[in-house]
Every structure is written in C-alpha cells, then in structure tokens.
A and B are shown apart, each in its own frame.
Chain A
C-alpha cells in the first residue's frame, strides 16, 4: 500500500460523535408521528387484548355448540317429519276405508228406504203385506 493510502486512512479515520448526539437522535425519534396502521392491522391488534381473545373463544365455542345442537335438531325434525308423513298416510287410508264402508251401509239403507217409499205409495189393494207376500210366494212354489 502506498503512502497516500496510509495518509488517506489517517485523514479519513472515524471521529467520535459529540456526547449528546444520541440524545438528539432519540429526541427526534420521539417527535415522529405514529406509523400509519392499516384497518387490517388495527383489527388484528384487537386480538391481542385478553378480553377480546376470551370473547372470540367464547363466541367460537357457542357457535360450535349451536351448530352441533342445530344439526341434532334438524335431524330430529327430519325424523319427526318422516314419522308425521307416515302417520298422515295411515290416517288418510284409514279414513278412506271407513268412509267407503260407511257409504256402503248408507247406500243399502237408502235402497231399503226407497223400496219402502214405493210400496207405501201404491194403492192399499196392491200393497203386499210382508206375511201375505210370503204366503203367496210359498203357493207359487
């Protein structure tokens, strides 16, 4: 290395900073405006608070419980609905059968009532008493 190099090293060697330089730097740091915080960072910062964390855990637990309960309730409802549909079909069938048989009885009763009405409408001499009618039928045989 040449002498110039040595001289340059001596000339350009580091100098001590003034004793209060650090204090002046820190004073300017203190004056700095707070760094801008995005909405997302502010939102995330909330989760550092123990109260918020507790609330989040509590809400998550409630959601899990509600979801589980909701699923169970839905399944129960589905089961109930299925049973109800079966019962509905059975009742409708039962009523249909009962109704049909009632109508058979009604029709028969109506027919007998009609016959009686026709018989009563005939002149007395043409009316056949049940017993006389039975006798004449035996004679014919």
Chain B
C-alpha cells in the first residue's frame, strides 16, 4: 500500500492538469453585441456533461447519429456562434480580432487559411496539439453578411467532421437558430 501512495498522489495531482490541458483549447467568444444586429443567430454551448448525455441518446443504428456519436467521444465542449446579417458591414474586423488574437497564443497552429477577395470571404482553421494529442479546433468563417466562429475542445477527426456536411438533416450552409431568436425582435 505504501508503494502506491506516491504514484496515486501524482496521478491525483495530474488530473486537474489533464483537464486544464484541454481548457487551453477553449477560446472566449465575445460576440453577443452582434446578436441584436443579426437576422439569424445560432448559439451553441454544449459542455462535457451534456455531450455525454447527448451521446447516450444518439442511436447506433442511424448512420448519421452514429457518426456524430463517434465524433463526440472524448470531447470536452462544443461552442458555436453564428450570425447572419441582412446587409454587409454589420460587423467589423475588430469584432473578430479579439478571437484571432487568442488563436495567436502558443499552442495554436493555423492549418488552413483561405481568403477570397472576390467573395469577401475568409476562412481559418486553427488546431492546438499537445504532442500527439489534439486539444481542440477553432474555425473562423467571415463573409460579408455572415460570421461563424466554431470552437471544439477535445480531440476531433476533422476529416470525418467535414464528411458530415449535408448529412445531418439540415440544409447545407444554412444557419438555423436553435433558440429561435431573431435579432432585433426580442
């Protein structure tokens, strides 16, 4: 028993650190001020306990739900803020800078950066790794009338995630408000 005390103590001490590692991949998304200007708003905040609960009710015999269940496995949080505006210029680059600056911190790596001046679109995909272990992903997609920020904390297979597009019973590239909120009508 005495021989186990030290390893156990070290393990217990490491547990919060384990949690803290993933927490480094969580970014702060302060875009609530844009909600009042947006025509459509999507706000998703699903913490680890709710992810586990959702996984219990995802059907294994449904291919799409089974795919989502596999992706959820190991995740610590899923956060989305998506705003669709009826005209251009409703948000500025400074609104997005606060988020981009967090993604400049050590650990984050931009794996994809796409800019289309013709379309006025910019998409960035950032990942954070600790050694071989993925800690999280952040996606910023900025278009003239749409701004989307996605933060997934935990290990996720990006290839499999990209394959879900159009398969989850939702139309492609269309924002739907989960809360049913309409900007300016509350």
Contact = CB atoms under 8 A, between A and B. Distances in A.
A and B touch in the complex (CB under 8 A): yes
Interface string A80-107: 1101110111111111111111111110
A19 to B, nearest CB: 90
Contacts of B139: 98, 101-102, 105
Nearest to A112: B114
Tier of interface size on chain B:
35 or more
Given A98-B161, A108-B123, A93 B112 contact: no
A101 to B, nearest CB: 4
Which of A87, A105, A108 counts the most chain B CB atoms within 10 A? A87
Contacts of B158: 102
A83 B52 CA distance: 11
B176 interface: yes
B17 interface: no
A113 to B, nearest CB: 12
Contacts, number: 113
A85 B44 contact: no
A106 B114 CA distance: 9
Given A93-B80, A100-B173, A104-B114, A81 B57 contact: yes
A101 B148 contact: yes
Nearest to B125: A105
Given A102-B125, A109-B114, A91 B148 contact: no
B112 A99 contact: no
A88 B57 CA distance: 8
Contacts of A93: 42, 44, 80, 168, 170, 176, 178
Contact of B170 (A84, A96, A105): A96
Interface of A: 80-81, 83-85, 87-106, 108-109
Given A98-B137, A99-B161, A99-B162, 12 more contacts: A80-B53, A81-B57, A87-B53, A88-B54, A88-B57, A92-B170, A97-B42, A98-B150, A104-B121, A105-B139, A106-B162, A108-B116
